[in-house]
Structure 1
Amino acid sequence: MVIPRLLVFAGSNRTGAYSGRTADVAQKELALQGAEVTRISLADYPLPILDEDLEKEKGVPENALKLARQIAAHDGMLIATPEYNGSIPPLLKNAIDWVSRVRGDGGRAVRPLAGKVAGLCSSSNGHFAGIRCINHLRAVLVRCQMEVVTPECSVPDGAEAFDESGNFRDERLHKSMEHLCRTLIETSRLLSTRSVP
């Protein structure tokens, strides 16, 4: 059986961010279900705001290439995002935008997002759990030709959502994460099988 390689990261770098804690839960659940998981932080890939004049002058930034290589080396990814003003946080959107500009690496043609599978989580301190953002994020990733699975896992009331061990207090959230991770793993296996000649 194919062991899928999955990349996990959050759309916020804030210390104690609910999205980061949700990504931690996802990382544990994916590993428990048999995936090979790599957890990264977007803080390790600082990028300027996307600027086509800058790109024309200096090319795609090295950190965008490094992030693109990480994505390309995995079968899929799970993104845990916060919600900013009802939409995608700028850190996450900027990273996606830069990676989408990568067309080659070392003379080799590459499109790191196209054809990859993604699972989505959202979180907020409110009752709506970031679901408005998740709809926007899904639309952006589909536009980048990614396969975005359903369901997603949306975490409301982030300040109370996690116990002392970092797990969800609510059993329904736990089941939701289990379902998302299982679907992401199964879809990753299916797509990687199709890509084998």
Structure 2
Amino acid sequence: MSVRILALVGSLRAGSHNRQLAEAAAKHAPEGVAIEVYEGLADVPFYNEDIDVEGGVPQAAQALRDSARAADALLLFSPEYNGTMPAVLKNSIDWLSRPYGAGALSGRPVAVVGTAAGQYGGVWAQDEARKAAGIAGGAVVEDLKLSIPGSLSRFAELHPADDAEVAENIAAVVGRLAGQVTPAAA
């Protein structure tokens, strides 16, 4: 069974440690699991029901929905901005939640991980992302967590993929998330 996981990164910064953590997840994914780090979140307009109409959904939003529907599970990477998740990640969840009751997140396993500069690694933001993804219809794996503190110093000179502890932990998260996918979905 091959499992496809879509990774959404809540930071648009080129040198984002969360982006690097997503790259580490892709590099260290167990055999049979492919991770696509989604490109294009910066192009998705803010959610607005006036533009979310059949035949008129903005191309960037439709591409996000199509990618999520093609995935077996989603792995969200959230830094912490002012004690909560970044707007780009919340906006992505909002687009994926529609149409109501049949959005692209509906029933798909979702896990949230991340890293942040603070001593708790962004847990508040990740908790908020879990809450939003669950309300949006995702099957959030609540006990599947990875919050890496001190990103500014920890990853100043070392890519997360080259940090043995991070590599082991992110591979375990990906493996457990892939294990939530039902064989019929994969």
Higher percent of residues as helix: 1
- Partner of residue 64 from structure 2, selected from 67, 87, 90: 67
Hey, what does 2:9 align to over in structure 1?
10
- The alignment covers a number of residue pairs equal to 184
Q: 1:55 to 1:68 in 2, by over 3 A?
A: closer
The question of whether the paired residues in 1 share the 8 Å contact of 2:106 and 2:138 is answered with yes
1:157 aligns with 2:150: yes
Distance (whole Å) between structure 1 residues aligned to residue 62 and residue 176 of structure 2: 28
1:126-180 per-residue CA deviation (whole Å, 9 max, x = no partner) reads: 1110000111111111111211223211111112333545425362x34332321
- 1:180 match: 173
Aligned residue number for residue 106 of structure 1: none
Residue identity in the other structure for 1:20: R
- The aligned amino acid for 1:145 is G
2:130 corresponds, among 123, 132, 138, to: 138
Distance 1:93 1:156 in 2: 22
Counterpart of 1:19 in structure 2 is 18
Q: Structure 2: how far apart are the matches of 1:50 and 1:165?
A: 33
Cα deviation for residue 9 of structure 1 reads: 2.7
**Matched-pair identity in %:** 26
**Aligned CA distance change for structure 1 residues 135 and 58 (closer, same or farther; 3 Å):** same
Show the counterpart of 1:169: 163
Q: Alpha-carbon deviation of 1:57?
A: 11
Alpha-carbon distance between aligned partners in 1 of 2:136 and 2:14, rounded to the nearest angstrom: 29
Shift of 1:34: 2.5
SS of the counterpart of 1:87?
Answer: coil
Q: Deviation at 1:58?
A: 8.2
* Counterpart secondary structure, 2:129: helix
Q: Output the CA distance in 1 between the equivalents of 2:70 and 2:158.
A: 33
Further displaced range: 90-99 or 159-168: 159-168
Q: Give the TM-score, by structure 2 length.
A: 0.86
Question: 1:56: how far off?
Answer: 6.1
5+ long unaligned stretches in structure 2: none
3-state DSSP of counterpart to 2:43: coil
Q: Which has the higher contact order (CA 8 A, sep 6+)?
A: 2
After superposition, the Cα gap between the structure-2 partners of 1:111 and 1:58, relative to the gap in structure 1 and judged at 3 Å, is closer
5+ residue gaps, structure 1, are 104-108
Q: Name the residue aligned to 1:88.
A: 85
Query: Structure 1 58/50 Cα, relative in aligned 2: closer, same or farther at 3 Å?
Result: farther
Structure with the greater alpha carbon radius of gyration? 1
Distance 1:14 1:94, change over 3 A: same
